[in-house]
Structure 1
C-alpha cells in the first residue's frame, strides 16, 4: 500500500484499489491538473471553476455548468481526492485536496495527465453511476 507523507507528521496508508480508483477518477474528470495544483495551496470556489471562469483560469477542459461542475467535484469527494471547505457557519462552496489527492497531484507535478483509455472512462462511469465501492 502506498504511504502518504503530507505536511503533517502523520503518514496515511491507502489500499491499492483506493489509489487506483482515485487516480482514474482524476484523469477521467473534466478538470486540468492546474486546478488541483492550486487546490493544494488554497481552496477554490465553485464559481471560479464553473462556466467560462474555469477555461480562463485553465481549471477545466471545457466550460461546465455549475451543476455539472458540482457533480464532478462531488464524485472526487466520494473517491477521497477532495473535501469541501468549512467555515464558522458551515460548509462553503470551496474545495481543497485531501492527503490522498495531494499524493496523486504531487505524482504528476510538472507532467501532463495521462490520457484515459476507453476502458478507464467506461469503468469510471460505471462505478460512478452505480456508486460502487471499488
Structure 2
C-alpha cells in the first residue's frame, strides 16, 4: 500500500514486514491512537504526554513517568514510527510521525486495529529488550 509524502509528493512503498512491525510496536505501546492522530498534523511535546496531562489529553492509557514515556517514544523512533522535531537550535522534546507512522495510523483509523495478542506483546518486548533492527 503506497503512501504519498506530502512534502515531496513521492510515493513511498515499504515492505509489509516493516509496516507490520511498526503497527505491532504502536499497538503495544502505552499510548492511545489519539496521540498519533494528533501527530499526523502537528508535533506533540513530551510534557503533553507524561503524567496526568497525558491521560487528560487522551494520549496515554495511564499516567507515565517521563523516563518511561521517553523510552517508549525512543523505541517508536527506532522502529520508524516517530521522529524527533527539530527547530533552529537543534533537537527538541517534541515528536512527529514519519511516513511509515502515518501509513500505520491511517490504516488504524480506516479500519479497526486489533488488540495486540500476547504473542505480539512478547515479540515486541523481545525486540525491544535486544534492540534488534528487524
Q: TM-score range by the shorter chain?
A: over 0.9
- Could you tell me which residue of structure 1 aligns to residue 55 of structure 2? 55
Q: Does 1:4 align with 2:13?
A: no
Stretch deviating more after TM superposition (102-111 or 56-65): 102-111
- Could you tell me which residue of structure 2 aligns to residue 115 of structure 1? 115
- Could you tell me which residue of structure 2 aligns to residue 36 of structure 1? 36
Counterpart CA distance in 2 for 1:33 and 1:16 is 20
Counterpart CA distance in 1 for 2:38 and 2:50 is 15
Counterpart CA distance in 1 for 2:48 and 2:111 is 23
Q: Does 1:92 align with 2:63?
A: no
Counterpart CA distance in 2 for 1:51 and 1:111 is 30
Task: Kindly tell me the number of residue pairs found equivalent between the two proteins.
Answer: 133
Unaligned runs of 5+ in 1: none
Counterpart CA distance in 2 for 1:84 and 1:112 is 27
CA shift for structure 1 position 112: 4.9
CA gap of 1:20–1:110, structure 2 versus 1, over 3 A, is closer
TM-score for both structures, normalised by structure 1: 0.94
Stretch deviating more after TM superposition (108-117 or 83-92): 108-117
CA gap of 1:92–1:38, structure 2 versus 1, over 3 A, is same
Counterpart CA distance in 1 for 2:96 and 2:89 is 18
TM-score for both structures, normalised by structure 2: 0.94
CA shift for structure 1 position 7: 2.0
Stretch deviating more after TM superposition (9-18 or 74-83): 9-18
Stretch deviating more after TM superposition (10-19 or 118-127): 10-19
